[in-house]
């Protein structure tokens, strides 16, 4: 069973690293997704990419995993508040892969995905909190 949790942890982390790298290669795409009230433009995208890559490395390396997962959950929550929820009110028609839909439909899908990932990050943080507590020596008063 230990192998399953290791594989699951790595599979959970890898997409964040890949998406983080995409923040460097596709900055203009991500700037187009940003709400107008988020400052920094491209710099915010680069910082977000660095945060995603750092979380990926931390989770895979099992270093500071609890803090990384809590910060990752916070970042995902900010994505939900600043990108996906405003997108729910954007009924602009778009075409993706020859399929017509609305921005609001995609925003709902992304909102649900990031909510799920946020839950996974919180679960991993909780699991590694318990492991960290188990490794601490008992303190006698």
Q: What is the pLDDT of residues 59-101, one digit of tens each?
A: 999 999 999 999 999 999 999 998 899 989 988 888 877 778 8
Domain-wise residue ranges, the chain: 2-135
Q: What is the pLDDT of residues 17-44, one digit of tens each?
A: 999 999 999 988 888 777 777 788 889 9
Task: Enter the pTM of the model.
Answer: 0.85
Cα–Cα dist 76/73, whole Å: 5
Give the residue among 64, 71, 85 at the shortest CA–CA distance from 16: 71
Would you give the DSSP letter of residue 41?
A: T
Cα–Cα dist 34/38, whole Å: 7
């Amino acid at each position: 069973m230990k192998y399953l949790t290791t594989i699951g942890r790595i599979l959970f982390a890898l997409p964040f690293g890949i998406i983080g790298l995409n923040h460097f290669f596709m900055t203009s795409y991500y700037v187009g997704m940003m709400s107008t009230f988020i400052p920094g433009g491209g710099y915010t995208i680069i910082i977000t990419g660095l945060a995603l890559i750092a979380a990926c490395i931390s989770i895979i390396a099992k270093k500071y995993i609890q803090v990384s997962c809590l910060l990752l959950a916070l970042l995902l929550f900010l994505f939900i508040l600043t990108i996906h929820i405003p997108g729910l009110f954007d009924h602009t028609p778009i075409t993706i892969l020859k399929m017509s839909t609305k921005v609001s439909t995609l925003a709902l899908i992304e909102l649900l995905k990031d909510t799920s990932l946020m839950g996974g990050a919180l679960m991993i943080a909780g699991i590694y909190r318990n492991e960290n507590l188990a490794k601490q020596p008992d303190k006698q008063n």
